[in-house]
Structure 1
Amino acid sequence: MTATLTARWVVLDIEGTLTATSYVHVTLYDYARPRLGPWIDEHPEDPEVAAAVAEIKELGGLPADASTVDVVRVLHGWMDADRKIAPLKTLQGLIWQRGYAEGDLTTEFFGDVAPALRSWHESGLRLAVFSSGSVAGQIASFSRTTDGDVTGLFERHFDTVNAGPKREAPSYRAIASALEAEPGDIVFFSDVPAELDGAAADGWQTVGLAREGEPFGDADFGTHRTIRTFDEIKVVPR
């Protein structure tokens, strides 16, 4: 029996929820990895790039005059450890933005994703994203997908820079405030139980995605409602 929730906003994680984790960790990471150094060297006057490099040096314990090679070595280490660090996400997002614009990249959604997104949008629900990937990267990834350009379905985008860490309740409080919504009017979909815990702590409705073959496919989602595909749940506007 399909469960039904009522809400004003649907907020979605991306990796493991809308796309396979392997798409991010293999396709996107492999695309960004060799381009990090050239991107830094080609954009020395870009304030966003300069700020990211300065932060990488500080967080990585590098001297202010460290070379691009040294900076990239730190970035590759973070990528290998799947660290969700803001300046890394910033640079990856800028590189992916160009990759999508030039047609090198195409986001591959799970088969149930696009129909659910369009159905929710058409019903009057408002859609937003909360992902560890940068806002620029999120928008770029939605601009070219296996189901076309879906950027128009989303009203707001949040990342760890403009909202905060994904496993902490204050981040969800900040998002609810930005959306001008009561926490109970928001439903959050994610494949990571700890993220759902953070959202629930602020009073959000939560749904776990336990997709077969994904890293959290067999995780313990505790008291969170859990589904394997969006076909197993119905969300209607309040």
Structure 2
Amino acid sequence: DNFRNLVRILDRLHIGAIDKALFDLGWSAYQLASGRGFSFGNDEPLLMTYGEDGIRAADIVNTARERELADLLYAYGEERFSRQIARAIVAKRARSRILTTKDLVDAVSQGTPSWYGRRKIHPATKTFQALRIAVNDELDALREGLATAIARLAPRGRIAVITFHSIEDRIVKSAFREASYAGHGLASKKPVTAGEAELLRNRRARSAKLRVFEKNGTRLASSVPAITYV
């Protein structure tokens, strides 16, 4: 389901207050293998939708103005070559519509310098992230879900959130800080990240950050279990 539907889900289950809540913002192998265009590892239809309805990534890249595309890639992907990639997308769609993940990867390659493709991170990673966030309105959904969880949290209850990129982490940090300033509880001052031993076992945890909020001012425990993400 969607984080923004948390109120409806809790009410349907007749849950008035939450003792513990975990928001894991990571991806599952099921989602990546869904064939909906989330992965640039295969040539798939450029959908990026979690459900069957709504705007698709292909709709955005084929209709948005160049400046709108550039702003989207920068805001949601923090892509340093956002304007060059947007220009390449517009040029490519003028020849033929961009309908698959391969079409989009080709446009990104045309809009970035050759050295950009020799890094550890795929050059299209941030472009795909930005489009996925835009298609599914992920950031507003996260804000709404966090607001509901904080409001419905029982005394001494805890919310833990695992994020995987800086945009998500800033939203979580801000939500917890505002709740703390309002006197609703305490937030962990710094995020917990994976240590060297865990990274050797699980490279997917390298970008993970764990933040915790506890209701009603109870002091947080001095130690938090290590992040494990599969």
Q: One fold, TM greater than 0.5?
A: no
Structure ranking higher on relative contact order (CA contacts 8 Å, 6+ apart): 1
* Shorter-chain TM-score tier: 0.3 to 0.5
TM-score normalised to the size of structure 2? 0.32
TM-score normalised to the size of structure 1? 0.32
